[in-house]
Chain A
């Protein structure tokens, strides 16, 4: 053993170092997936797609036989929410008309949001226990690039593209520890940082930190949106809602625990924001 380590241990260490450095360098130097990673993704893509189709079919059959009583209760709750929202919409329409009149009076540009979206199907989710990710079925062939936001049809933020191959891309979801983006609390206007936390990731949650006033004004249910500060990500995408406000281990600062709006565990179809323009 000792003789082996003296004779070949150095070569083995060198081999590990070469592989590690090569992988790291490929990852850093390339704005898309590394050529080898791309190849692995392209080869495995049809298998992932087939397996996901089978899983979707199975889930669909399972859902079909879901508890009828639970569905009825959910239906009643949704009817109540629709009634509340219709009242809100009536108020909002009045406010919008008023706002438009003021804009005309002041000669401001018309407010609009335009997104260049690409529809994508989820091929795979959570390929390891240490990250929260999705693999989508479109990549650089459809103009997807690293850093693009991924949303649901209800403009709920799912995550950000972290790696893009030819016909696939990997999305780190908002609860992943590497995710971090500017956020704004809709009710109070407080701006903070929505980021993944490993302890919360297992529960499907994320944290909202660096809040002014130590988050004392936040209430459970407060809506958290993307702030759009810096122009890197679009503003006003729904990240989630505040679940509770906690104090950190030091006791000096507090942060909010946020429940993501997008149902990350059941997503099958998402949209990649390739480009956007927002005029407020």
Chain B
């Protein structure tokens, strides 16, 4: 049983990591464009936290909070897109990687790839539902989004591993 104070500290620290990611994304990354797309850290953050802390409930709830912030801050096809996409991506990636792999860098990478895939598929679905069916283009954007974010994932992984170790001293 985890003490309440430890839980509060843990999720405050993850919240701060989320804030740091938001600042990095908003102030720097969205000004970079490689192959016509910018790096997008949020799906990877949602997936990596799910791998570290478990998909349910912690990972999914964190992803839900992150999704709600993204929906409030980013323009989207539908108002609640990220609030649906991120928990779903976190649950799937967290569960699958937990079943098959331990929480090392490779599993975080696989989870991030899955998270980008889920988000991309949902984007393609929304576009198709709104009459802009461009499935191939949507999946190409999702793929490029993952590839341009890939060089940043080791740093995100190291940050989360550091935070995980600091907040799980007695595990």
| A positions within 8 Å CB-CB of B | 1, 4-5, 8-9, 12, 15-16, 19-21, 23-24, 26-28, 34, 36-37, 40-41, 44, 47-48, 51, 55, 124, 126-131, 133, 162-163, 170, 172, 177-178, 196-199, 202-203
| B positions within 8 Å CB-CB of A | 23, 26-28, 30-31, 36-38, 40, 56-57, 60-61, 64, 67-69, 71-80, 83-84, 87, 95, 123, 127, 130, 132, 134, 137-138, 141, 144-145
State in angstroms the CA–CA spacing of A55 and B30 once bound together.
11
Nearest A residue to B119 via CB reads A130
State in angstroms the CA–CA spacing of A178 and B60 once bound together.
30
Query: What are 13 contact pairs spanning A and B, CB under 8 A?
Result: A16-B83, A19-B64, A20-B84, A23-B68, A24-B79, A127-B30, A129-B145, A130-B76, A130-B123, A131-B77, A178-B77, A197-B132, A198-B134
18 other A-B residue contacts (CB within 8 Å) besides A55-B31, A172-B75? A9-B56, A12-B60, A19-B64, A19-B80, A21-B80, A23-B68, A40-B72, A44-B26, A47-B23, A129-B145, A130-B141, A131-B76, A170-B75, A177-B77, A177-B127, A177-B132, A198-B138, A199-B137
| Cβ-defined contact, A12 with B57, below 8 A | yes
Nearest B residue to A27 via CB reads B79
Residue among A8, A34, A41, A177 with the highest chain B CB neighbour number at 10 A: A177
| Complex interface: chain B residues within 8 A of A170 (CB) | 75
| Complex interface: chain A residues within 8 A of B77 (CB) | 130-131, 177-178
| Complex interface: chain B residues within 8 A of A1 (CB) | 56, 95
State in angstroms the CA–CA spacing of A26 and B80 once bound together.
10
Label chain A's interface by main secondary structure.
helix
| Cβ-defined contact, B83 with A20, below 8 A | yes
| Complex interface: chain A residues within 8 A of B76 (CB) | 128, 130-131
Label chain B's interface by main secondary structure.
helix
| Complex interface: chain B residues within 8 A of A127 (CB) | 26, 30, 73-75
Contact status of A128 and B75, CB under 8 A, knowing A177-B127, A177-B132, A202-B137: yes
| Cβ-defined contact, B73 with A44, below 8 A | yes
State in angstroms the CA–CA spacing of A41 and B56 once bound together.
31
Contact status of A129 and B71, CB under 8 A, knowing A197-B132, A198-B138: no
State in angstroms the CA–CA spacing of A136 and B37 once bound together.
21
Contact status of A202 and B141, CB under 8 A, knowing A8-B56, A129-B40: yes
Nearest A residue to B37 via CB reads A129
Nearest-Cβ distance from residue A174 to partner chain B, whole angstroms: 15
State in angstroms the CA–CA spacing of A39 and B56 once bound together.
30
State in angstroms the CA–CA spacing of A157 and B60 once bound together.
42
Contact status of A23 and B83, CB under 8 A, knowing A126-B38, A129-B141, A177-B127: yes
| Cβ-defined contact, A16 with B132, below 8 A | no
Residue among B30, B61, B123 with the highest chain A CB neighbour number at 10 A: B30
State in angstroms the CA–CA spacing of A199 and B57 once bound together.
37
Nearest A residue to B148 via CB reads A129
Nearest-Cβ distance from residue A255 to partner chain B, whole angstroms: 13
| Complex interface: chain A residues within 8 A of B123 (CB) | 130
Nearest-Cβ distance from residue B14 to partner chain A, whole angstroms: 17
Other-chain contact of B69, A12, A24, A40, A131 (Cβ < 8 Å): A40
State in angstroms the CA–CA spacing of A162 and B75 once bound together.
9
State in angstroms the CA–CA spacing of A48 and B25 once bound together.
11
State in angstroms the CA–CA spacing of A230 and B69 once bound together.
37
State in angstroms the CA–CA spacing of A4 and B98 once bound together.
15
Other-chain contact of B83, A19, A36, A202 (Cβ < 8 Å): A19
State in angstroms the CA–CA spacing of A12 and B86 once bound together.
13
